[in-house]
Amino acid sequence: MTQEEVLEIFKKSNALLEGHFLLTSGLHSDRYLQCALVLRHPEQALALGAALAAKLLALTEKPDFVIAPAIGGILVAHEVARAAGVPALFAERQDGALILRRGFEIRPGEKAWVVEDVVTTGGSTKETMNVVTKAGGVVLAAGSLIDRSGGLADPGVPLAALAVLNVPTFTAEKCPLCKAGSQAVKPGSRS
């Protein structure tokens, strides 16, 4: 699957909007990504997961499991794991820190791919990697459907993404779209 084909699926699902957006962080941006809108279609989730698994398999051996940070990464881990024929785990936040719950276990020496829907800074990928390594596991590679860091995220292991986007964000004061006279809208507040 090429980057163009991936972005076409996103646009078709209204998961990649272009305009002038007020993000939950308070920053402004000219694009808005909402992977849940792509992943709500199981056949799209299946195809994207298979494509990401193929990219990861080109970088590393097959892992023992795939793991993602909840909630955004759960479906991605599930579909990548389906393609690789291994289990899918997820880590979730408790008191701010990502941990394994629900009886999920990582045994020492087990190898993992860490995946996400979108990598923005790589912060939650790194946090999920720490969950694996603290349990004695080994992270072979990281992957995401979209890398919106423009390729700047560096988790310290090979990183695969189906599409790389450079999506700048601005404070309201510095936003060129505001300067041009348009008003930022919350994503989803216009049809």
- Alpha carbon 62 to chain centroid, angstroms: 20
Q: Determine if 141 is a binding residue for Zn ion (CB under 5 A).
A: no
Name which of residues 3 to 62 contact Zn ion (CB under 5 A): 28
Give me the least distance between CB of 176 and Zn ion, in Å please.
8
Size of the site for Zn ion (CB under 5 A): 5
Neighbouring-strand partners of residue 93:
98
Residue found under tokens 């700047």: 152
Q: Determine if 184 is a binding residue for Zn ion (CB under 5 A).
A: yes
Residue found under tokens 């494509």: 51
Give me the least distance between CB of 80 and Zn ion, in Å please.
35
Tokens for 41, please give them.
Answer: 């279609």
Of 114 and 175, nearer to Zn ion (C-beta) is 175
Residue nearest to Zn ion (CB): 175
Neighbouring-strand partners of residue 66:
88, 113
Give me the least distance between CB of 26 and Zn ion, in Å please.
11
Q: Determine if 167 is a binding residue for Zn ion (CB under 5 A).
A: no
Q: What is the DSSP letter of 16?
A: E
Of 37 and 178, nearer to Zn ion (C-beta) is 178
**Exposed (0-12), middle (13-18) or buried (19+): which is 70, by Cβ within 10 Å?**
middle
